[in-house]
Chain A
Amino acid sequence: MIFLKRQLPLAITFVMGIAFTFQYYIPHPVSEDAITNVSKWMQIISGFALFLGLASLFHVHAVKITRQVPGWGFSLALYVAMIGTIVIGFWSHGETKVDGGQTAFGWLYDYTMVPLQGTMFSILAFFIASAAYRAFRARSREASVLLVAAVVVMMGRVPLGQFLLPWTWDVTQWLLNVLNSAVRRAILIGVSMGAVALSLKIILGIERSYLGGGRDQ
């Protein structure tokens, strides 16, 4: 039983890791088919993982409703919205448009999902403005550099800024294409090295936290 609980998962990780590391270097139809098929398998497994999250969400809000904790009505609203969307989605066969016409599911997407998502993200504009006030006070040379770069990019991205200060467009492009690229590239190289090291640790069984806790680990 210990083998099934502890060693088998580690062995599967090792075999899968090694197999798909070397798969990249084997340009053969069998190798190409393997990655294509297993990638589809991963999509299927991640579909089940969605239900794992769904069950967790159901549980959290079911507890709130049954115990009638303050704000339980919002949990009820969440349930109604979720179940309503699922029912309408299945009724529309998961299609947002049929023969050029909008389905009920499409209506739900256009008039609830899109405005809610857009508003949620746009509301950050206000909070970013207040955060900018705190972050951008030019108290040091580094903060001043950050402030100038941000202001130039903001001016260079809007027609009014370009009208008032025409040079901001060129400077913005240079900042984004050269200086920003250099930093992104350096960070990407560093992060990638970390990702490779972590992947190796997982394949070799040094990093096991993905298996969850418990006595058997």
Chain B
Amino acid sequence: MPEAMLPTEVVLGAWVAAGLTLFIYSFLYKDNPLFKLGEHLYVGISVGYSVVLAWHTVFLRLLWEPLQKAVGEAPASPDSYVLLIPATLGVFMLTRFIPQISWLSRIAFAFVVGFGSGVAIPRTISSYILKQIEDTVNPLLTMGAGGLTMGFDLAAPQSGVNTIILLVGVVSVLFYFFFSVEHTGAGMVTARTGIYFLMIAFGAAFGYTVMSRMSLLIGRFRDLITFAGAAYGYATLVLLAVTVLSLVGWELATRRKTGGASPE
């Protein structure tokens, strides 16, 4: 049975996606014009995308449409024009490019930074300091049918033994970063314990990051394999050949220019 034809935009998209993916992976050989092209396209497209999103989600939905509606409903009310305040502050930010009036941008920055600082203080204390301390100091013993018991199950994060490990970890790591007391004697033991906790956490974080990158890599390779099929016009294979030939040509041209030496 003949394979169903894919829509043209899907096939075209496959060629573009495969080409851009191979251009970026060409960096594994060395820095080259194909990678630079892919890199610059990535920046350009990302910025363009952010501009379009900002225009539609911020300027239209948060500023223009509510302002138009409010002024239309009550043109005489000063409340209808309240959104002109952030708009003016936004325009003040752009005065950074005009040296004579660039000081106006300070007013906008002051507003943003003042708000951010004010909002951060109570929320940081509540969510990141008090809440974290509260979660660290859990009860060791629990009241069950057989009276007071302490959990020794390492697989249960809330068990008594894990609570002790967690407490030791938090205190020792905090102590390691506390430099007002000399790390000698018992202090040295505590700081060393903190280092071991840090090393385990860094190792775990590293392993976790590696695996997440690997899953992205697998995703890209899966796409490349899919696009290598006949339904997509063997996009990956053709573009791989083009990429390799381009790199060989670039390498030869550069060596000729530099008198036989490798560009790097």
Contact = CB atoms under 8 A, between A and B. Distances in A.
A127 to B, nearest CB: 9
A94 B55 contact: yes
B107 A189 contact: no
B45 to A, nearest CB: 5
A147 B196 CA distance: 12
Contact of A118 (B133, B136, B219): B219
Main secondary structure of the interface of B (DSSP, over half): helix
A51 B213 CA distance: 32
B207 A151 contact: yes
Contacts of A112: 16-17, 20, 41, 45
Contacts, number: 392
B93 interface: yes
- Among B56, B108, B166, B207, the most chain A Cβ lie within 10 Å of the Cβ of B207
Contacts of B6: none
B22 to A, nearest CB: 9
Contacts of A184: 201
Contacts of B17: 111-112, 114-115
Nearest to B165: A178
Contacts of B128: 188-189, 191-192, 195
A115 B223 contact: yes
Interface string B202-223: 1111111111011011011001
Interface in A153-167: 153-154, 157-158
- Among B33, B113, B174, the most chain A Cβ lie within 10 Å of the Cβ of B113
B49 to A, nearest CB: 6
A200 interface: yes
Main secondary structure of the interface of A (DSSP, over half): helix
Contact of A108 (B14, B40, B45, B56): B45
A122 B198 contact: no
Interface residues of B, number: 120
Given A9-B109, A112-B17, A190-B174, A145 B196 contact: yes
A177 B37 CA distance: 42
Interface string B75-88: 00000001101110
Interface string A94-111: 100000001001011111
A63 interface: no
Nearest to A193: B129
Contact of B52 (A90, A118, A198): A90
A115 B13 CA distance: 10
A159 to B, nearest CB: 12
A209 to B, nearest CB: 10
Given A71-B36, A81-B41, A179-B197, A123 B24 contact: yes
- Among B56, B129, B171, B204, the most chain A Cβ lie within 10 Å of the Cβ of B204
A153 B211 contact: yes
A124 B107 CA distance: 41
B170 A189 contact: yes
Contacts of A132: 206, 210
A77 B35 CA distance: 12
B46 to A, nearest CB: 7
B54 interface: yes
Interface of A: 4-5, 8-10, 12-21, 23-25, 35, 37-38, 40-52, 54-55, 57, 71, 74-75, 77-86, 89-90, 93-94, 102, 105, 107-126, 128-129, 132, 142-143, 145-154, 157-158, 170, 172-193, 195-196, 198-200, 202-203, 210-212, 216
Given A81-B40, A86-B51, 18 more contacts: A9-B107, A20-B118, A57-B47, A81-B44, A85-B47, A89-B53, A108-B49, A117-B42, A118-B220, A122-B219, A125-B210, A157-B207, A158-B211, A179-B197, A180-B200, A183-B201, A185-B135, A211-B109
- Across the A-B interface, the 3 shortest Cβ-Cβ residue pairs: A85-B48, A182-B169, A81-B44
Interface of B: 9, 12-14, 16-18, 20-21, 24-25, 27-28, 33, 36-59, 62-63, 82-83, 85-87, 89-91, 93-94, 96-97, 103, 105-126, 128-129, 132-133, 135-136, 154-155, 157, 162, 165-171, 173-174, 177, 194-211, 213-214, 216-217, 219-220, 223
21 contacts: A8-B110, A14-B114, A42-B86, A107-B9, A109-B49, A115-B18, A116-B24, A119-B20, A128-B206, A149-B202, A152-B207, A178-B154, A180-B204, A183-B169, A183-B201, A185-B132, A186-B170, A188-B128, A189-B129, A211-B106, A216-B103
